[in-house]
Amino acid sequence: MLDVLKFKKPDGGPVTQADKGEIKIKDVSITFGRGPTEYRAVETTSIDIKAGEFVCILGPSGCGKSTLMNAIAGYVEPTTGKVTVDDVEVKGPGPDRGMVFQQYSLLPWKTVYENVAFGPKMAGATRTEAGSVANTFLGLVGLKKFGNRYPAELSGGMQQRVGIARALANYPSVLLMDEPFGALDAQTRLMMQESLLDIWRQFGTTVVFVTHDVDEAVFLADRVLIMSAAPGRIIEDVRIKLPRPRSTDMAATQEYMVARQFCLDTIKAESRKAFAEQNK
């Protein structure tokens, strides 16, 4: 079983997740269907994401945000170009990339503990090893006491925390999150955002986070990548200069408001284009 704590750098220090997880998207376009049904979801685009970065992808509805993320995950094959993680071309899903969806996608017949231990077991861990990993990550998301509960017995926010623990249990170098907090109420969403940042600080993995919420993107990210109306391509790379660790109090700062307004204006312009195109 992969245990990053057992690996060493050339200088003898332990490898952290921030040593891995560099993503390169080179000239990628994604087209579905053929002939009269052909639809280009993602226009030719290139992105470099450094290991350990927290990147949010924003864009108008239907612009290809999730499609681009699915290409990184290995669920969708690019029509042109390629995606690499740590210089290895993505050819399909792999344990180096954990995925968290908007819908919790937990196995309802398994306990919380069993859901988190499932991935390590499938990777070849012994029952004891998988159990140790499950307890470690349930502790990380604050749910160790709920290991014997079933998903239906948990709130939406708690289920999503289980989903994050499950995604991290294989020690991925990249954590992919597709609108993971979109179904939560406002207060739970804020709590989950702060919890995610705390986990990210501890774990150091690269995070690519798709959202339609500008405030969420500015609060979480090192960089906000804004996509155009469909077919989607990256039109802005906004670097968020807010200090870390972050708190919701930062929403009142000048730096936050400037970044938020720029993102809002860009999204509005692209949404108008998309609306006009749909009404031709």
- Condensed to tens digits (0 to 9), the pLDDT of residues 74-122 reads 999 999 999 999 999 999 999 899 999 877 789 999 999 999 999 898 8
- Chain centroid to Cα 110, Å, comes to 24
Residue in this structure with the two tokens 């231990």, named with its chain if needed: 117
- Condensed to tens digits (0 to 9), the pLDDT of residues 239-265 reads 999 999 998 889 999 999 999 999 999
Residue 182 reports pLDDT greater than 50: yes
- Written as one string, the DSSP assignment of 95-138 is TTEEEE-SS----TTS-HHHHHHHHHHHTT--HHHHHHHHHHHH
Separation between Cα atoms, residue 8 and residue 59, nearest integer Å: 40
Whether the Cβ atoms of residue 85 and residue 132 lie closer than 8 Å to each other: no
